[in-house]
């Protein structure tokens, strides 16, 4: 196995079932609209397990989620992302012998991902049982330029014979989702979500249309093929499926190629998804495959220019971080109809649901590299505002909105409310993301159009859920980020997020009022100056737990009164704890699944002194298992702030390699998108010390001992800045845009060209 700068390769492919499933994830293709797992075109033996899936972001059906007791407001159904079709199955026979890595002899086997070209590939040299040798190269692409398009370029070279090769390329509509009854992170059962509607062959192109069983959505996929040389090519329709049969003569040392184009269209984005599929398929073949590849490479050149990041002295980490950034652009939705799922479009973990991951871990990356994508993500939350309002009413709140903890189309999908619906901090997270976008771009027009309404309505909810007690504003019976501690009073993170939300509701009111951009929204939602005074009062009197003896912020009112979990003496095979201990047992202990108060000390650092942050970090480090993939990156950032650079480096390394090395043992179910965003933050916000505040942009760079230097680029307002950090100096270069004042340490600098600061 080896990594190169923007290319990941695995040689001599393992035939272990678990390794094959991990590679299905690691080498998947996606573009934010569609995602296809990297299954073998020729299938595995029937005794092997596999997650063979193709997905559309935001496309879902509704499944039952029965509660043990029928209590008011408990969720009884959920949305689930669907496996919509199988168009990756292609069977090859060489002179009548079926190609399979499990038969004959594999002379060479390689899988690779080219992150500059935007393609994945397989290279195999294979000897058939009778001795015929072929070299097979298969390239796949999901287009960033034509989002519905997925291509497979399947090339076969005859190495020692003349003869005939045959392809059988399938278009299969009868598919199901994956399930695992023993893992709460994936669906517990699998059922038939898609029902056949129509199958047709038009001039050799196949079109399959299905509708969902409950949500009444439709999906149409279109497939066409080309051969690189003259041969027999024929497509026939079967019951809700189609097969293209291709037969061609091949000479020794000659290569023949079958190219397969698939387009995906759905009724969320198109009134007539069949007509849309026909148009997309015509568009796909209007240019050559090579031209599609060139367009893909051009798109990614701009992407890499915007998010350039390099670590000298640690190539493996540079390459892992590049892999993670590439997965983010593969996974993130490119329109307002979708968002970014916890597993992206790489697998069915968490059933394709959107969480707080988007706002707190992924949007920071796009804020600094491609803010237009952030606008789409916020636009999705804005489009589901009415459903969030309905959710708040179900939960008993007479004003404001409450966003669902997990969702696809805006309705709550969390069946276990103590660690789901009770996580009210989702409101503060979404408000925080709007504010972060504004601070990075100063796009007040977008705030007036969409962002401010989100911030005002989430602020209203805090006034309804909280209450005043003994002179302070308190928020009871909620769950913070740490899912091993549920249903508590005054979770520090939640209260700090609510305070920030309320204060910025007041600031946006004043900013929009001054700019003359408030009247329309003010009338729309009935906002008044008196209400903003309520916002300010609650924020100023917000109760933030503090323990005088320890000098820390307790995670909540009861956390320090609990027995401390003995992490050191817990057997390694009992992690993650959630799979081995009853929730109530966990809730009665001081044990954290992930960063909670420590996270608050990163994003709301001005709320506490540096001494309190240091004390809290040291305390929570001892009781945190990092069973969540969202955790170590945050500990890395705060360790950097505290000048514990080598500790930050250790946490960062754990975060960077999580999926490539399957450290959480569930990469087979899909990538960990939030960790990937957090990994970027650990460099830029952690080692680079970046903070963007109302008062400007700040840096406090540190560097691990083993690195020679590191550099990255960020966008800020209308400018792009390059940051280079060495042991002896740091330099900041204005690559484009207008001059900026930057703060490095305690000093302000005018950045109009390049500033070099010696340490």
What residues act catalytically?
483
Residues 512 and 518 sit within 8 Å (Cβ to Cβ): yes
CB 226 within 8 A of CB 241: no
- Residue 740 corresponds to which tokens in the numbers above? 């900026």
- Cα separation, 490 vs 503, in Å, equals 18
Residue 3: both structure tokens together? 């990594």
How many Å separate Cα 496 from the centre of its chain?
25
Sequence-ordered list of residues with C-beta below 8 angstroms from that of 605, at least 6 positions apart, any chain: 613, 641, 691
- The CB density around residue 514, as the number of other CB atoms within 10 Å, is 10
The span from the CA of 631 to the CA of 636, in Å, is 9
Q: Cα(40)–Cα(468) distance, rounded to whole angstroms? A: 60
CA distances from residue 563 to 479, 486, 559, 560, 567 in whole angstroms, order as listed = 19, 15, 9, 8, 12
Contact 109, 115 (CB under 8 A): no
Two tokens, residue 703: 């560097």
Closest to 303 in 3D by CA, of 391, 373, 385:
373
Pull the structure tokens for residue 644: 């514990």
d(CA 432, CA 501): 7
Q: Is 549 exposed, middle or buried (0-12, 13-18, 19+ CB in 10 A)?
A: exposed
Q: Which of 475, 476, 482 is nearest to 583 (CA)?
A: 482
Count other C-beta atoms under 10 Å from residue 584's C-beta. Answer: 9
Alpha helices in 105-192 (DSSP H): none
**Tokens for 490?**
């005054």
Distance, CA of 22 to CA of 36 (rounded, Å): 14
The token duo for 396 is 């008993």
H-type alpha helices, 477-528 = 492-515, 519-525
Which token pair is 40?
Answer: 């073998």
Token pair of 735 as six digits: 């690559």
Sheet containing 696-699: give its strands across.
691-693, 696-699, 740-744, 747-751
> How far is CA 160 from each of CA 104, 108, 227, 250, 486, rounded to the nearest angstrom?
15, 16, 22, 11, 66
């Amino acid at each position: 196995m080896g990594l190169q700068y923007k290319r990941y390769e695995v040689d001599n492919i393992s035939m272990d079932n678990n390794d094959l499933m991990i590679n299905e994830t690691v080498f998947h293709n996606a573009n934010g609209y569609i995602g296809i797992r990297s299954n073998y075109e020729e299938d595995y033996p029937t005794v092997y397990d596999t997650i063979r899936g193709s997905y559309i972001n935001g496309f879902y059906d509704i499944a039952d989620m029965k509660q043990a007791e029928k209590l008011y407001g408990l969720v009884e159904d959920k949305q689930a992302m669907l496996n919509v079709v199988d168009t990756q199955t292609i069977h090859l026979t060489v002179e009548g012998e079926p190609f399979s890595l499990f038969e004959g002899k594999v002379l060479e086997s390689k899988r690779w991902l080219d992150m500059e070209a935007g393609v994945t590939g397989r290279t195999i040299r294979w000897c058939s049982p009778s001795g015929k040798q072929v070299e097979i190269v298969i390239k796949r692409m999901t287009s960033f330029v034509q989002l519905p398009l997925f291509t497979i370029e399947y090339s076969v070279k005859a190495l020692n014979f003349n003869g005939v090769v045959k392809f059988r390329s399938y278009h299969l509509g009868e598919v199901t989702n994956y399930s695992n009854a023993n893992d709460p992170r994936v669906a517990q059962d699998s059922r038939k979500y898609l029902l056949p509607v129509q199958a047709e062959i038009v001039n050799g192109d196949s079109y399959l249309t299905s509708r969902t069983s409950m949500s009444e959505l439709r999906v149409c996929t279109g497939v066409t093929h080309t051969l690189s040389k003259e041969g027999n090519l024929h497509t026939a329709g079967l019951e809700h499926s189609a097969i293209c049969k291709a037969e061609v003569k091949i000479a020794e040392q000659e290569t023949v190629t079958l190219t397969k184009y698939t387009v995906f269209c759905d009724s969320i984005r198109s009134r007539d998804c069949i007509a849309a599929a026909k148009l997309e398929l015509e568009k796909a073949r209007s240019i050559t495959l090579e031209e599609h590849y060139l367009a893909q490479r051009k798109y990614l050149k701009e992407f890499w220019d915007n998010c350039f990041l390099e670590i000298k002295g640690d190539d493996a980490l540079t390459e892992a971080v590049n892999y993670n950034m590439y997965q983010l652009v593969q996974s993130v939705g490119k329109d307002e109809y979708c968002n970014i799922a916890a597993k992206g479009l790489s697998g069915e973990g968490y059933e394709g649901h959107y969480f707080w991951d988007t706002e707190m871990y992924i949007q920071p990356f796009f804020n600094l590299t491609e803010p237009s994508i952030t606008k789409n993500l916020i636009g999705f939350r804005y489009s589901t505002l009415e459903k969030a309002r309905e959710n708040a009413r179900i939960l008993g709140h007479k004003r404001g909105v409450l966003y669902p903890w997990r969702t696809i189309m805006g309705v709550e999908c969390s069946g276990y409310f103590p660690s789901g619906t009770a996580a009210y901090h989702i409101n503060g997270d979404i408000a925080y993301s709007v504010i972060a976008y504004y601070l990075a771009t100063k796009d007040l027009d977008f705030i007036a159009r969409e962002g401010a309404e989100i911030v005002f309505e989430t602020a209203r909810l805090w006034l309804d859920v909280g209450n005043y007690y003994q002179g302070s504003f308190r928020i009871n019976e909620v769950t913070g980020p740490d899912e091993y501690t549920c249903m508590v009073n005054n979770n520090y993170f939640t209260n700090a997020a609510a305070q920030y939300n309320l204060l910025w509701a007041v600031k946006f009111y004043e900013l929009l009022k001054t700019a003359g951009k408030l009247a329309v929204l003010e009338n729309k939602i009935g906002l008044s100056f008196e209400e903003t005074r309520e916002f300010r009062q609650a924020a100023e009197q917000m109760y933030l737990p503090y323990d005088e003896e320890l000098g820390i912020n307790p995670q909540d009112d009861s956390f320090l009164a609990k027995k401390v979990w003995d992490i050191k003496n817990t057997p390694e095979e009992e992690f993650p704890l959630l799979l081995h201990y009853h929730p109530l047992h966990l809730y009665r202990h001081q044990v954290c699944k992930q960063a909670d108060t420590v996270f608050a000390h990163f994003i709301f650092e001005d709320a506490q002194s540096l001494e309190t942050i240091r004390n809290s970090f040291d305390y929570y480090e001892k009781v945190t298992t990092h069973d969540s993939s969202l955790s170590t990156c945050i500990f890395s950032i705060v360790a950097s702030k505290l000048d514990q650079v080598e500790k930050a480096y250790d946490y960062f390394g754990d975060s960077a390699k999580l999926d490539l090395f399957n450290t959480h043992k569930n990469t087979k179910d899909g990538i960990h998108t939030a960790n990937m965003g957090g990994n970027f933050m650990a460099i830029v916000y952690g080692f680079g010390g970046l903070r963007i505040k109302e008062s400007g942009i700040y840096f406090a760079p540190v560097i691990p001992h083993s690195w020679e230097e590191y550099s990255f680029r960020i966008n800020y307002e209308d400018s792009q800045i390059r940051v280079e950090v060495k042991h002896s100096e740091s330099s900041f270069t204005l690559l484009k845009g207008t001059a900026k004042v930057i703060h490095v340490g305690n000093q302000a600098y005018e950045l109009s060209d390049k500033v070099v600061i010696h340490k």
